[in-house]
């Protein structure tokens, strides 16, 4: 019997059939090689994971050494040097007030534990009625049932509707696509007011937490919240005793040019989820981090948060995390990302700005989103069945570029975005190669659309 590994579909396959994937054989730095010997520049670190590229000799050595000692000391039997050192490093990187954490094996588990920490906090605080979560539309928090319940990725939710936990969804804070009738400069205040309205509507004593991505990843095509938004929602939550939960699975661990994405906003959340970049994709690792306020109460009233798994604090994973985080600190890579992210964005705009289909280039650090539209002035997206993002993916793969195209950012079905999230240590020449190959792939994909006869006003000589 042949076992088939199905890969999840992204929205809007439309006219583009599933293509056979190349078979990965090895990687070196920012480059990956498939079984035919073809090489790819990794422009998105897979899904914003591989922050040090591939096969970094120091990380590999640390993993091998740990494996030769012991793979894992189960958490009810042992602590370990890697676990303690990574706890110390992450605590220091998070800054004052966020020194407590539970390690997990990935993003969904980190979000799941974040939700549970919030619920447990309220139970221990004698407010067991606080059960409800508020999240935002066009956000993704993970595939486990709790994380999926607060997510609003239409296609991924649909098969499970009816079994998901009730959650409210408020507007995304997206200045490029503001809520109807709201000017871009009013988005932050409007969204904060809407959140407060929802808390009041539900009754604050029923609301456990507000979860949001400080910079939305896959579901929005990299959408940083407008300036001031994070501070406003922090204040709203404080006014109503609601915990602020930052999902930094994709945008955190240095990706946006500060170790915590919310550092940029001067905001400290009550609970935070990180994953992807924490161990750089060398082994699965995530963490749920929570504040002293949450930790003190949970320790005093309940002896600690009630969550965790067999592989919580996995020793080998923590050793990988320590190696990755030491290199990032030693080589000043978060600072590098902060410095060169703006330059990368400017290069993309220079190179592709003549394309009428390029609606927006946005993001922070090495987390950059490009949104493509059928009409720049009205921001009308391409018809979903044209699946532009999938055509870009196909063309990128053919051209030897790994990027992260995604559909559905406008309404869950329509919308075409591409995420770039290169390794923090990619060379300037590699960044330039990413820009050049993306530019070529997008022009070819748009050419494919027009050659398959779509006629949209104003798009004639687009490529």
Classify residue 451 as exposed, middle or buried by CB count within 10 Å of its CB (0-12, 13-18, 19+): exposed
The sign of the torsion formed by the CA atoms of 173, 178, 181, 185 equals positive
With CB under 6 A as the contact rule, the residue among 250, 272, 358, 406 that binds ligand PLP is 250
The whole-angstrom distance between residue 366's C-alpha and the CA centroid of its chain comes to 12
DSSP string, 429-451: HHHHHHHHHHHHHHHHHHHHHHH
**Per-position b or e across 196-210, b if 16+ CB within 10 A of its CB:** bebbeebebeebbbb
Query: Tokens 């705009």 — which residue?
Result: 349
Contact predicate 444/431, CB 8 Å = no
In the complex, what is the shortest distance from the CB of residue 346 to ligand PLP, in angstroms, rounded to a whole number? 25
Q: Count residues contacting ligand PLP (CB under 6 A)?
A: 16
From 3-11, 79-87, 243-251, 298-306, give the range in contact with ligand PLP by CB under 6 A. 243-251
Classify residue 36 as exposed, middle or buried by CB count within 10 Å of its CB (0-12, 13-18, 19+): exposed
Is 107 among the residues that bind ligand PLP (CB under 6 A)? yes
Residue 404 has phi, psi (to 5 degrees) of -125, 80
Nearer to ligand PLP, 51 or 449 (CB): 51
With CB under 6 A as the contact rule, the residue among 11, 29, 106, 221 that binds ligand PLP is 106
**Interface with ligand PLP in residues 210-239 (CB under 6 A):** 213, 217-218
Nearer to ligand PLP, 382 or 404 (CB): 404
In the complex, what is the shortest distance from the CB of residue 109 to ligand PLP, in angstroms, rounded to a whole number? 7
From 83-91, 103-111, 309-317, 434-442, give the range in contact with ligand PLP by CB under 6 A. 103-111
Is 263 among the residues that bind ligand PLP (CB under 6 A)? no
Nearer to ligand PLP, 143 or 168 (CB): 143
In the complex, what is the shortest distance from the CB of residue 11 to ligand PLP, in angstroms, rounded to a whole number? 15
With CB under 6 A as the contact rule, the residue among 249, 338, 352, 446 that binds ligand PLP is 249
Nearer to ligand PLP, 123 or 417 (CB): 417
CA distances from 47 to 51, 146, 422 (A): 10, 21, 10
Nearer to ligand PLP, 140 or 210 (CB): 140
With CB under 6 A as the contact rule, the residue among 103, 121, 133, 140 that binds ligand PLP is 140
Q: What share of the chain is helix, strand, coil (3-state, %, to 5)?
A: 40, 15, 40
Contact predicate 150/141, CB 8 Å = yes
With CB under 6 A as the contact rule, the residue among 54, 56, 130, 141 that binds ligand PLP is 141
In the complex, what is the shortest distance from the CB of residue 215 to ligand PLP, in angstroms, rounded to a whole number? 9
Report the residue number whose CB is nearest to ligand PLP.
107
Nearer to ligand PLP, 7 or 36 (CB): 7
| H/E element, 102 | strand 100-104
Is 275 among the residues that bind ligand PLP (CB under 6 A)? yes
From 57-65, 107-115, 226-234, 362-370, give the range in contact with ligand PLP by CB under 6 A. 107-115
From 67-75, 102-110, 187-195, 305-313, give the range in contact with ligand PLP by CB under 6 A. 102-110
- What gap in Å lies between CA 183 and CA 93, rounded to an integer? 36
Query: What tokens appear for 32 in the block?
Result: 């990956």
Rounded to 5 degrees, what angle do the CA atoms 207, 212, 216 make? 160
| Binding-site ranges for ligand PLP (CB under 6 A) | 47, 106-108, 111, 140-143, 213, 217-218, 247, 249-250, 275
């Amino acid at each position: 019997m042949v076992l088939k590994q199905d890969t999840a579909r992204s929205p809007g396959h439309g006219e583009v059939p599933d293509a056979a994937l190349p078979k990965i054989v090895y990687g070196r730095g920012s480059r990956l090689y498939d079984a035919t010997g073809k090489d790819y520049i990794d422009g998105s670190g897979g899904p914003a994971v591989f922050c040090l590229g591939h096969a970094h000799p120091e990380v590999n050595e640390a993993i091998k050494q740990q494996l030769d000692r012991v793979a894992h000391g189960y958490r009810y039997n042992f602590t370990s040097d890697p676990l303690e050192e990574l706890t110390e490093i992450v605590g220091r990187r998070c800054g004052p007030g966020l020194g407590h954490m539970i390690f997990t094996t990935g993003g969904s588990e980190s979000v799941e534990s974040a939700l549970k920490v919030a619920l447990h906090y309220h139970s221990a605080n004698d407010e067991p009625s606080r059960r409800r979560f508020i999240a935002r539309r066009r956000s993704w928090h993970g595939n486990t049932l709790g994380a999926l319940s607060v997510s609003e990725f239409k296609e991924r939710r649909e098969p499970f509707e009816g079994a998901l936990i009730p959650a409210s969804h408020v507007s995304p804070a997206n200045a490029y696509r503001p809520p109807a009738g709201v000017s871009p400069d009013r988005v932050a205040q409007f969204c904060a007011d809407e959140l407060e309205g929802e808390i009041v509507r539900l009754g604050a004593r029923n609301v456990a937490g507000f979860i949001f991505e400080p910079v939305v990843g896959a579901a929005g095509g990299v959408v940083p919240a407008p300036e001031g938004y994070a501070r406003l929602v922090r204040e709203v939550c404080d006014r109503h005793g609601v915990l602020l939960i930052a999902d930094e699975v994709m945008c955190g661990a240095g990706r946006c040019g500060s170790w915590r994405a919310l550092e940029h906003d001067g905001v400290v959340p009550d609970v935070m989820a990180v994953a992807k970049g924490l161990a750089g994709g060398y082994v699965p690792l995530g963490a749920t981090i929570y504040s002293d306020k949450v930790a003190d109460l949970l320790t005093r009233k309940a002896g600690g948060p009630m969550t965790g798994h067999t592989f919580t604090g996995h020793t080998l994973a923590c050793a990988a995390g320590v190696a990755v985080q030491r290199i990032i600190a030693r080589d000043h890579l978060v600072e590098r990302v902060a410095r060169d992210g703006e330059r990368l964005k400017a290069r993309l705009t220079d190179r592709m700005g003549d394309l009428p289909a390029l609606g927006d280039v946005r993001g922070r650090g090495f987390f950059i989103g490009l949104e493509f539209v059928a009409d720049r002035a009205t921001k009308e997206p391409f018809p979903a069945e044209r699946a532009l993002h999938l055509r870009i993916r196909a063309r990128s793969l053919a051209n030897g570029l790994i990027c992260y195209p995604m559909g559905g950012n406008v309404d869950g079905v329509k919308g075409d975005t591409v995420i770039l999230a290169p390794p923090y240590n990619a060379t300037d020449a590699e960044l330039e190669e990413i820009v050049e190959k993306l530019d070529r792939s997008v022009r070819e994909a748009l050419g494919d659309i027009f050659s398959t006869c779509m006629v949209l006003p104003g798009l004639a000589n687009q490529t």
